[in-house]
Amino acid sequence: FGIGPKPSVILLCLKQFQTISLENAAPNHEAFTGLHAHLRQSFPSVFATLKTETIDGYSLLIEWPGQYPGLEPGLLLAHQDVVPVQPGTEADWRYPPFSGTVAEGHIWGRGTMDFKLGVVGILEAAELLIRAGIKPRRTLFLAFGHDEETLGQSAQAIVAHLQNRDVR
């Protein structure tokens, strides 16, 4: 655990914030808003320094202005949601799917690989770079959708939002 995102942040993202995407069901408000509050607390420099917008209810779009505004921006993506556990398969799991168990050199649970790890990893990198006073050459957008596991409409909403701002 010496390199990479903070294990405690990942563990809490898995255990406490079960941001499960279900078709034909509204997102779990408490899970997503709790996750957002936890991310703000865990990465204070990112959220104090960079412009953050909530898109389509629960997706996050963070803008990190670059040194050279004339350069086309970059986009880093990850998603906050996970698929539900199929009822009746709980016994098939080596560790409970939302336990965040640390064992065998890994953190086990929904979202560790797909893809809360990506959210935490991107934010961790940004946090460390901001604290070190490093600014990207080009503007970067960090986009974290909330419904990738179903229809991914939040990604479309983020694209439309950026297009409305004339961002290419």
Cβ–Cβ under 8 Å, residues 111 and 16: no
User: How far apart, in whole angstroms, are the C-alpha atoms of residue 107 and residue 105?
Assistant: 7
Active-site pick, 81, 124, 147, 149: 81
Catalytic annotation on 148? yes
Q: Which tokens in the block code for residue 74?
A: 């970059």
User: How far apart, in whole angstroms, are the C-alpha atoms of residue 143 and residue 140?
Assistant: 10
Residue 14 main-chain phi, psi, to 5 deg: -80, -50
Q: Which residue, chain included where needed, has tokens 């320094």? A: 49
Q: Which of 2, 16, 1 is nearest to 111 (CA)?
A: 16
Active-site pick, 56, 63, 124, 148: 148
Catalytic annotation on 72? no
Active-site residues, by number, are 81, 148
